[in-house]
Structure 1
Amino acid sequence: MKNALFRSAWVASTCDPESKAYYAQKRAQGKRHNAAIICLARRRCDMIYSMLKSETFYRSKIALSA
Structure 2
Amino acid sequence: MSGVSALRRGLCHIRVRFARPLLELDYQDDREVADRFAAVAHKVGADVTIDDELRDSRPPLPCRGLWT
TM-score, normalising length: structure 2: 0.29
**Richer in strand (by share):** 2
**Richer in helix (by share):** 1
